[in-house]
């Protein structure tokens, strides 16, 4: 068995002005399993070098562009080169960076959505399949222990057959016109050449859709959508209301908005079955409300008694000690690093390590984004989502 060492990570993106880059780096470092060894942090080489110095990287491991990084790292001895790359750029670079990494033999952990469009997602699926390398997607909210608890309870039949799924994700940060003139984050998210065909659904609606499918273990099969550009002068959606149908027969509603003035990051999920419901809120992520039919409400707590193995494995502190966004992010990094380590040690991946959104989640996410935009502009009431097996040519 290979001697244990830290898993070596490279990073593309996440330089000065990035919101998500520092979060990825903190999450990757939290368990002491991963070390940042190289990177390209900006399209401007000098800016990238300054960022690398702030991360205490040697000058020769900061590269001018991601292609030279992949090629140079691949030429290093096996004991020095990175093991995987974290992709934390705006959306339009997700696919080319992942493509370059996979072609040079490196695993990939990417921010969502996986690509700029569905065609790129299909190409990425083929690359991952042909290379045999690992691919993960950081849908953060699936990393919360109590979301995993909800998933296990649904799978165990605690609710009976799932009937209704309600998810809402309101934010208020894009409520004012012209914010893109002062915010780098708003600027690229409202630019279709960098964000893709949707701002609101691509950015936060995709998270809401993923958490529905993750908890229910059911795929969204059809949608009826109303997307809008509420703030005058925008070419991209900043508000979305979507009616859902799932392949298990459940119905649902997804509300995502970036123009709900006064809201912060108010993700909330409710799942109802024949025998009760579950409720989770990002404002209190350590609690899961179980509402059995005609019985008192039960509150399950992270770190407390009665949790599933999956939930316990992703708790980091005793009950009553708050865990949050960074810990959920770190669960994905720790579990993905476990997958990489399993490859190095020639052993099977554990159930905990395997619990990271993957290339199939990437395909489902891009399928959902494009179908939602198409549904919103169509006169047809319901638009069916093409099955993944059909998209992949039955090669999944």
Identify the CA nearest to 151 among candidates 351, 317, 13, 346: 351
Give the 3-state secondary structure of residue 152. helix
What is the fold, at CATH topology level, of the domain defined by 7-140? Rossmann fold (3.40.50)
| β-pair type (107-110, 135-137) | parallel
Dihedral through CA 251, CA 381, CA 254, CA 233, nearest 10? 180
pLDDT band at 395 (very low <50, low <70, confident <90, very high): very low
Label each residue of 265-290 as H, E or C.
CCCEEEEEECCEEEEEECCCCCEEEE
d(CA 361, CA 366): 9
DSSP 179: G
Joined tokens for residue 311: 């939930």
Look at residue 168 and tell me whether its pLDDT is greater than 80: yes
CB–CB of 89/98 below 8 Å?
no
CB–CB of 21/88 below 8 Å?
yes
Kindly report the number of other CB atoms within 10 A of residue 354's CB atom. Answer: 14
Peptide bond into 32 cis (omega under 30): no
Label each residue of 229-252 as H, E or C.
CCCCCCCCCCEEEEEEEECCCCEE
What's the average model confidence in pLDDT over 70-98? Answer: 97
Look at residue 388 and tell me whether its pLDDT is greater than 90: no
Average pLDDT, the chain: 96
What's the average model confidence in pLDDT over 131-141? Answer: 98
pLDDT in tens, 27-61: 999 999 999 999 999 999 999 999 999 999 999 99
Instruction: Domain 146-320+362-376: give its CATH code.
Output: 3.30.360.10
Per-domain residue ranges for the chain?
Answer: 7-140, 146-320+362-376
- Residue 392 pLDDT: 75
Identify the CA nearest to 143 among candidates 383, 327, 281: 327
pLDDT in tens, 5-15: 999 999 999 99
What's the average model confidence in pLDDT over 302-326? Answer: 95
Phi-psi region of 385 (alpha: psi -120 to 50; beta: other; left: phi over 0): beta
What's the average model confidence in pLDDT over 62-85? Answer: 97
pLDDT in tens, 230-264: 999 999 999 999 999 999 999 999 999 999 999 99
pLDDT band at 3 (very low <50, low <70, confident <90, very high): low
- Residue 396 pLDDT: 42
């Amino acid at each position: 068995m290979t001697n244990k060492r830290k898993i070596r990570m490279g990073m593309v993106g996440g330089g000065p002005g990035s919101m998500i880059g520092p979060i990825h780096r903190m999450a990757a470092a939290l368990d002491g399993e991963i070390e940042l060894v190289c990177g390209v942090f900006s399209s401007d080489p000098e800016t990238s070098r300054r960022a690398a110095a702030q991360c205490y990287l040697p000058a020769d491991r900061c590269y001018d562009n991601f292609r030279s990084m992949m090629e140079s790292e691949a030429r290093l001895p096996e004991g020095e080169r990175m093991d995987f790359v974290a992709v934390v750029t705006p959306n339009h670079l997700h696919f080319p960076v992942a493509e370059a990494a996979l072609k040079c033999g490196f695993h990939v952990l990417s921010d969502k959505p996986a690509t700029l469009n569905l065609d790129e997602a299909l190409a990425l699926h083929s690359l991952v399949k042909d290379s045999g390398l690992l691919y993960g997607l950081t849908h953060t909210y699936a990393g919360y222990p109590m979301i995993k608890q909800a998933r296990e309870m649904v799978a165990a039949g605690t609710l009976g057959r799932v009937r209704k799924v309600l998810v809402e994700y309101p934010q208020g940060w894009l409520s004012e016109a012209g914010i893109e003139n002062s915010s780098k984050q708003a600027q690229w998210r409202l630019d279709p050449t960098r964000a893709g065909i949707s701002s609101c659904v691509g950015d936060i609606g995709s998270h809401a859709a993923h958490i529905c499918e993750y908890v229910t273990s059911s795929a969204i099969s059809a949608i009826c959508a109303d997307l809008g550009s509420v703030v005058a002068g925008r070419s991209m959606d900043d508000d979305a209301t979507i009616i859902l149908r799932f392949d298990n027969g459940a119905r649902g509603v997804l509300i995502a908005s970036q123009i709900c003035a006064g809201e912060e990051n108010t993700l909330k999920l409710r799942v109802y079955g024949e025998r009760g419901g579950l409720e989770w809120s990002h404002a209190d992520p350590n609690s899961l409300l179980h509402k059995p039919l005609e019985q008192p409400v039960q509150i399950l707590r992270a770190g407390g008694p009665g949790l599933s193995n999956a939930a316990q494995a992703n708790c980091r502190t005793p009950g009553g000690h708050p865990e949050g966004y960074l810990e959920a992010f770190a669960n994905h990094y720790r579990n993905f690093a476990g997958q990489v380590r399993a490859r190095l040690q020639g052993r099977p991946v554990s159930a905990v390590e395997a619990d990271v959104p993957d290339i199939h989640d990437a395909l489902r996410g891009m399928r959902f984004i494009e179908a939602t935009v198409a549904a919103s502009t169509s006169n047809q009431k319901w638009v069916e989502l093409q099955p993944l097996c059909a998209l992949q040519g039955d090669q999944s």
